[in-house]
Amino acid sequence: MAPATRAADVNGITVRYTDEGTGPPLVLVHGHPFDRTMWAPQIGAFAPTHRVIAPDLRGYGQSEVVPGVTSLSVFAEDLAGLLDHLGVERAVFGGLSMGGQIVMECYRLFPERVTGLLLADTFPAAETPDGVRSRNALADRLLAEGLRGYADEVRDKMVAPYNTEVSALVHRMMAAAPASGAAAALRGRAQRPDYRELLTRVRVPTLVVVGRDDAFTPVADAEAMHAAIPGSALAVVEGAAHLPNLERPDAFNAALRRYLAA
C-alpha cells in the first residue's frame, strides 16, 4: 500500500509529505527534477525502525509551486518549518543530488537540529560562471518547453541505461515535474554557496553514497567529500548511476542501515 499523503502549511505555502513509521526521525530530501516518491524503496525499508519523513519540495510533486527563484536556504527553511509542524526537534537529514546540497544548507543554518547526514550523489562546490549561465539558460528552456525534452536528454545519465525498468519510472517522474518550480530551483542552485569548508567542520556521523557509473557527480567527487568530512563513511554502489537508491535499492539500503546502526 502506498504511503499516505499529508499536507502542512509551511512558510506560507502548502507542502505535501510522507510521514511513516516510529523511532528516530530520518528526513529524506529528493533531487531535481523529482519528487518524494523517489524515496519509496527507503520509506518501505526504514519505516519499521525509523520515523521517515519525505516531503515534496516547494515547486515539485504535489507541493505548492512558487515561480521565480528558490534558493537552497528557502528549501532548508521549509524543511525546518515542516519539522516544527511535526514536533520534530532533531533528525538525520539525507539528500540526493540537489537534495544533498539542501541538506548541506540545513547543516549550515541549523546544525543543532542535525543528528547525522546522508549525502548521496551530490557535490559541495559553488557553481562556476559557465554553470550559472547554463542553469539559467536551462530554466528559461524549461519554462518555454516543459520538462519532457529535458527528461529525454538526461534519462541515460540519471539512470544507467542497463537499468531499464527504473529508467522508465524516472523518466515519467521527470517529465511530470512542474516547469516553473523546476526553473525556480535551477536559478536558486546557480546562486548556491560553496560548502567545501563547511564539510571540514561537520561533527555528526555522515555517510557519503555514490553510484559507480554516476556521470553527474562522479566517484571522485564523493571520495573528496569523504576525505573532507571527519569520520565519514563512503559507499560506492555498483551497477548504478545518479540514482542508486532506485537503481540498486538493496545495496543502498544496506549501506544506510549500517550507518544508522553504528
Grid coordinates of 4: 499516505
User: How many CB atoms lie under 10 A from the CB of residue 112?
Assistant: 8
129-146 mean pLDDT:
97
With a cut of 90, say whether residue 262 has pLDDT above it. no
Residue-range definition of the domain harbouring residue 61: 6-126+192-261
Tell me if 219 is assigned to some domain.
yes
Q: Domain total for the chain?
A: 1
DSSP state at residue 201: T
Tell me if 77 is assigned to some domain.
yes
For 183-211, the pLDDT digits (tens) are 999 999 999 999 999 999 999 999 999 99
Confidence of residue 178 (pLDDT cuts 50, 70, 90): very high
CB neighbour list of residue 85: distance below 8 Å, 6 or more residues apart: 8, 9, 10
With a cut of 60, say whether residue 1 has pLDDT above it. no
Tell me if 25 is assigned to some domain.
yes
Tell me if 142 is assigned to some domain.
no
DSSP 126-177: PPPHHHHHHHHHHHHHHHHH-SHHHHHHHHHHHS-TT-HHHHHHHHHHHHTS
What pLDDT shows up at residue 169? 95
When the pLDDT of each residue in the chain is averaged and rounded to a whole number, the result is: 97
User: What is the H or E stretch that residue 224 is in?
Assistant: helix 219-228
Tell me if 166 is assigned to some domain.
no
User: What is the H or E stretch that residue 116 is in?
Assistant: strand 114-120
Tell me if 165 is assigned to some domain.
no
With a cut of 60, say whether residue 99 has pLDDT above it. yes
3-29 mean pLDDT:
95
What pLDDT shows up at residue 3? 65
Tell me if 136 is assigned to some domain.
no
Sheet order of strands, 206-211 included: 6-10, 13-20, 51-55, 25-29, 91-96, 114-120, 206-211, 233-237
CA angle 72, 78, 81 (to 5 degrees): 145
Tell me if 246 is assigned to some domain.
yes
46-61 mean pLDDT:
98
- For position 234, which CATH number holds? 3.40.50.1820
Confidence of residue 48 (pLDDT cuts 50, 70, 90): very high
What pLDDT shows up at residue 96? 98
What pLDDT shows up at residue 2? 59
